[in-house]
Amino acid sequence: MALIIPKCNAESETLDLTLKVYYDAQDWVTNAELIDRLSMSLINAGIETQKKEPQSYTKKTQVLSYYGFIEWEDPDNTQSRRRITATGRKFYELRKNNDIHAVQALLVDVLKNNTFGRNVLGCDSDSDLEAPNIFVKSTMILGHLTNKEFAYIVGNMELEHKEFADVLFEVLIKRKRDIQVVPSDAANKWADPKPILALADWGMFTIKKQGASKYYYLHRDVIETLGDELVLLRTMNTEPKRQSKKHIFSSSQKEASERISNFSNYITAIKSKPFLLLAGISGTGKSRIVREFAFKSCPKYLQDKDGTTPGNYCMIEVKPNWHDSTELLGYYSRLGKAAYQFTKFVKFLVKAKMFPTVPFFVCLDEMNLAPVEQYFAEILSILETRKHPKNDKTGEVDMTTVKTEPIIDAQYFRELSEMPHTKNAQTGEPFSSNLTDRDIYLKLFDIETESDIDEEVGKRTDLTTEGLTLPDNVVIIGTVNMDDTTHQFSRKVIDRAMTIEMNGGNLRNMFGGSKNLEYLSDEEQQKWQNAFTRRYVTADEVLDAHSDFAEELEEKLPAKLEEINKTLKGTPFEVSYRVLNELTIMVGVMLDEGMDLDDAIAQSVNNILLMKILPRIEGDAEMFALSREYKNKVGISYDNRLEWLKELAPDIKETAIDPTSDNGDVEETADKDKEHHQTAEEKIQEMIDRLNNQEFTRFWP
């Protein structure tokens, strides 16, 4: 694990108000208490106009935790209670009294006595470098410092293992020769060290702007009164990394977390879009993995007695003769007593509405045995209508709920009522049904009673007033074989899905591990339920939740897709706003799990290439050829589009996010026995090889 500097910052007044919450509490403060008190303080101070996302408040404590002003009751739990430290209390009082010289002296003591490279609360950094001290000492020795110069210094120390003095000498030489100091791409992520820049707000630095650059100068008083102490600041530490409790597994916890690194790709995709395609040869476990998700997240009250089919799982076997949606969505029959014929799929969606906190999984087995565009058209369209609705009473957007257009019209649920289906003679509107959603659920499944349905959920009448919308806790996963017996996917389908190609994995693993799928303990299944909870529907919601990164995301993500589109110019494979929206959501998901911004962008671009862009691409050598005129125009020398696209694929290491950990445990995977997920670069090379050998290529095997 390399050096990580928290990316969260806030204005000094906001940090003061945050610290005041803890100062006034005189005790441990829960995150919920912080959110309520801080939001009110920020609104009263005119800094904010309304209450924001909960995460925007808890993230403001990261800077304060970084400098040791806040401590956590449980260092490994991001939801832990927190309280002000003795140093934090003193810092707050000095800030309140506007004693700038005493604040400067206290900050130097903090830099001397704290460790910033590792064992930082809420930041899984593991480095010998002390980043704030490097920034301060570099500024003192060089006279001034820019963000790019800081990233260059840290990059050479962290990645190239150079000595601090040697790198400073390099910077001086470059300045003398008027050579711009530019960090490597890998080091550029340290060019915006927000918590370090908070020191400027607290009086350690003055800032001068010149063009687009900011120049940081140590405050004259700091140099004159504290210069001798600054010289002694350590730029390296030798403190061992604290052993995290979340890495100490009992045997049962290890069993519950088996193959967790393999699941991270699937979970990230699900949290970005609730429609997946699992592709691969027969026997690779495509349908099994869907059942495994259901087993891991199924609560006791939905578990079957014989342990074969979780109550939150539904297998739909697609038939070759499906040419419309009736087999999936049902139809209105006039034979005998006219009534709507509800299908297994529709009933399962109604059931999912009854248990909104539990993820429900639909497995469309052998999905492309029939033309997907014909029998699945309505669902494809409905997926694109997902949005957070406005609260009828307050008019504010309800971020806890996602609504879609109806799949099944309300009139068919009203007809389930025992009341005669008649209309009001004056208004012409149908009389409302006396059936609640719970009543309809019991009626459809022929159940007499169900005690585990939430009382408020059961009282709703959404089905008879709005119809059946796609529940937000439902994930639809189609298993796919691409051979002579199946149908090809159109770009319309691929555009609306996340595609994951499953390889055979390590065959030796067949003889190890658990043979049967089993339910987990209450604690573990609750973690898995939380892991599948989706937060975002639009890119704007990501920008609001991660406002500290909004400017970078708005600049970098469209630019990356524009680069990719250049390689596809003149082909039908160019991408549009939908891909940008889902790329942004995926970055948001990874930021939520604790990943560094640059790593989150690289990993997300890799995933979007694999899941959204490459599955669209197919053609012969002529399709991918680049004309001499075009190559000269854009200044490239690649022989074909795929070689150019390969150069744009991120150079990433395979990483895993443990979705059951408290804050998303990001780590590199190196176990040779684990299933290897191809990188985009590897997949493009595979497609290039196929093009060279067969004069035709595509994503699918």
For the ranges 411-420, 584-593, 602-611, the lowest mean pLDDT is seen at 411-420
> What DSSP assignment string belongs to 24-75?
HH-S-B-HHHHHHHHHHHHHHTTS-SS---HHHHHTTHHHHHHTTSEEESST
Please, what CATH class does the domain formed by 252-381+399-506 belong to? alpha beta
The alpha-helical segments, DSSP class H, found in 332-483 are 344-354, 372-375, 377-383, 410-414, 437-444, 455-459, 462-465
Which residue is listed with tokens 């899905």? 497
For β-strands 474-480 and 275-279, DSSP reports them as parallel
Closest CA to 474 of 577, 609, 383, 591: 383
Taking the C-alpha atoms of residue 653 and residue 655, their distance in angstroms, rounded to an integer, is 6
> What DSSP assignment string belongs to 115-176?
--SEEETTEEEE-SB-HHHHHHHHHHHHS-B-HHHHHHHHHHHHTS---HHHHHHHHHHHHH
DSSP letter at 276?
A: E
Question: Which segments within 634-692 are labelled E, that is strand?
Answer: 655-658, 665-668
Provide CB contacts within 8 A for 564, sequence distance 6+. Answer: 575, 609, 613, 645, 648
> What DSSP assignment string belongs to 109-131?
HHHHH---SEEETTEEEE-SB-H
For the ranges 413-427, 479-493, 495-509, the lowest mean pLDDT is seen at 413-427
- What pLDDT digit, counting tens, does each position of 245-266 carry? 333 333 334 443 444 445 888 9
DSSP letter at 468?
A: B
Q: What is the largest CA-CA distance in the chain?
A: 96
Give the mean pLDDT of the chain.
85
Closest CA to 487 of 342, 366, 400, 583: 366
Structure tokens, 361: 């999984």
Per-residue model confidence (pLDDT) at position 245:
39
Under the banding of pLDDT at 50, 70 and 90, the label for residue 665 is: very low
- What pLDDT digit, counting tens, does each position of 105-120 carry? 999 999 998 888 887 7
Cβ-contact 225, 131 below 8 angstroms: no
Which residue is listed with tokens 């009082």? 93
Under the banding of pLDDT at 50, 70 and 90, the label for residue 76 is: confident
Q: Report how far apart, in Å, the C-alpha atoms of 422 and of each of 292, 427, 429, 437 are.
A: 46, 12, 9, 20
Structure tokens, 348: 């399962």
Average pLDDT value for residue range 651-670: 50
Average pLDDT value for residue range 194-209: 88
Residue boundaries of the structural domains of the chain = 12-231, 252-381+399-506, 535-653+677-698
Taking the C-alpha atoms of residue 683 and residue 499, their distance in angstroms, rounded to an integer, is 13
Amino acid at 372: V
Angle, helix 260-272 to helix 286-297, in steps of 10 degrees: 90
Q: Which of 55-59, 165-169, 528-532, 591-595 ranks highest by mean pLDDT?
A: 165-169
Closest CA to 242 of 59, 30, 109, 72: 72
Cβ-contact 669, 639 below 8 angstroms: no
Exposed, middle or buried, 502 (CB in 10 Å: 0-12/13-18/19+)?
Answer: buried
Per-residue model confidence (pLDDT) at position 504:
58
